[in-house]
Structure 1
Amino acid sequence: MTDSVSRETTLDRYFGARRPLIEAYAQFLGTAGVERGMIGPRETPRLWDRHLLNCVVVTPRIPDGARVADVGSGAGLPGLVWAIARPDIEMTLIEPLLRRTRFLDEAVERLGLSNVVIDRRRAEDVDVRFDVVTARAVAALGKLGRWCLPLVAPGGALLAMKGSSASDELEAARADLVRLGARTMVVETYGDDVLEVPTTVVEVTR
């Protein structure tokens, strides 16, 4: 994001009338989130570009009315951002740690989000299938595939948000992903027109 004007335009583009909700979440994340160890204090100055906008630019990839799961949701990235930007989707935040689910519970209550469910379990213990499963900064792709692909419904997709090593991770994990039922595997970028560093996503369909 190069300037405040482009940020304003981007917020309106992705959040529209729900922009006050993402601004309220940003404020909560930058205060209570730091105090409770959800994010590091050094992340506060780059909260928008590196975290919130980094997540929301992927939302056009989500089918209308999709059932979505965010595995290892932590502070709600990308799950809460997606749920705010896309009220049409049903979002399940899968997070096993109590202190994190308490934070998520409070965030959902504060924001009044009716399309979010919090599931305090490990991904391996969840027996529900979703149209889209996502994870951000959780684990290497091979391990992530073992946790997430069983949750993806046939025809659905795993959208693993990754960094610059995404292509190398995909090549290393390709054989394991095929054994887990992967059909197609590609690396895509989102937000090229609004972010200085676009969001990289490994997309695995089942």
Structure 2
Amino acid sequence: MANPQATELFKIVEKYFPELSEKQRQQFLDMYPIYEEWNGKINVISRKDTENFYERHVLHSLSIAKIICFAPGSRLIDVGTGGGFPGIPLAVLFPDVEFLLIDSIGKKIRVVEDVAQQLGLSNVKAMQIRAEEVTQKFDFVLSRAVAEINTFWRWTSHLIAKKSQHEVPNGLLSLKGGDLLEEFADFPHFFKFYELRHYFSEEFFETKKLVYAHA
């Protein structure tokens, strides 16, 4: 039985992603009570954000899919995933893509593992580890406001596989907000800003951006 509050709040996701399968729709609906329960134990997301869960966490994560459609068999790593964003929502949307979600804080990884298990996400693996210690290679590195770009590139550039299987070269996909011109002024690699207000009409997205970068 779907949570009535979740069903109502989820409409904002269906507005922009109307072609979800019934399984995906149910997985997204099931997220809300799982995160609500965890939030009662530890501060996974801001408690004032609970009623904006689908807009500020799920839809924000899924905005990456408005820019790039990941090919089946792709391998993605979500660095500093926190409670599982953007990795968990994207793993629901792309069930044929492998996701590694990492964070240095153990209790956050326990949340991610529980959410993935309850949602039946066999394409998600979670690890308590720092990006610098990971030796595997990935098509894309994902993040949501983890660190300033030069620092983040230093932590993660070794994770990017050289051989690309998408139209765009492998690289970083980072969700950020505000004026980024100063932050990127001395970034020595290719980057591009995607203004999320061009894809979503809600006020929350007015200053939000997806940054794509590659060597």
TM bin, normalised by shorter chain, reads 0.7 to 0.9
Q: Higher helix share goes to which structure?
A: 1
- Which among 53, 70, 92 is matched to residue 100 of structure 2? 92
Q: CA deviation at 1:53?
A: 0.5
Count of paired positions: 195
Tell whether the 8 Å contact from 2:100 to 2:126 is kept in structure 1 after alignment: yes
Indicate how the Cα distance of structure 1 residues 7 and 62 shifts in structure 2: closer, same or farther if over 3 A, else same: closer
| Partner residue in 1 for 2:109 | 101
Q: Does the alignment pair 1:189 with 2:198? A: no
Label 1:5 to 1:99 Cα distance change in 2 as closer, same or farther (>3 A). closer
Paired position in structure 2 for 1:136: 144
Give the % identical residues.
26
Q: Where does structure 1 lack aligned partners over 5 or more consecutive residues?
A: none
Given the superposition, is the C-alpha separation of residues 133 and 39 from structure 1 closer, same or farther in structure 2, using an over 3 Å criterion? same
The residue number in structure 1 matching 2:37 is 31
Look up the equivalent residue of 1:19 and give its one-letter code. Answer: R
User: Which residue matches 1:63?
Assistant: 70
* TM-score, normalised by the number of residues in structure 1: 0.85
| TM-score relative to the length of structure 2 | 0.82
What's the C-alpha RMSD, in Å, of the aligned pairs? 2.1
Bigger relative CO (Cα 8 Å, ≥ 6 apart)? 1
Check the 8 A contact 1:6/1:194 in 2, yes or no: no
Q: Distance in 2 between matches of 1:121 and 1:115?
A: 18
Q: More displaced, 16-25 or 105-114?
A: 16-25
CA offset digits 1:20-64 (Å, max 9, x no partner): 101111221233135311112111121111111111121241431
CA shift, 1:5, in A, is 6.0
Which digits, 9 at most, give the CA deviation of each residue in 1:98-155, with x for residues without a partner? 1111111111110010111112210000011100101112111121111122211124
In structure 2, C-alpha distance between the alignment counterparts of 1:192 and 1:147, rounded to whole Å: 30
Residue in structure 2 matched with residue 161 of structure 1 by the alignment: 175
1:114 is the counterpart of 2:106: no
* Cα-to-partner distance string for 1:58-112 (whole Å, 9 max, x where unaligned): 1241431221000011100000011011112110001121111111111111001
Structure 1 contact 28–107 (Cα < 8 Å) conserved: yes
1:74–1:126 distance in 2 versus 1, CA, 3 Å? same
Name the counterpart of 1:202: 211
Asked if the contact 2:10–2:29 (Cα under 8 Å) also holds between the matched residues in 1, the reply is no
Aligned amino acid, residue 36 of structure 1:
I
Is this contact kept in 2: 1:127–1:151, CA < 8 A?
Answer: yes
Q: Distance in 2 between matches of 1:118 and 1:7?
A: 25
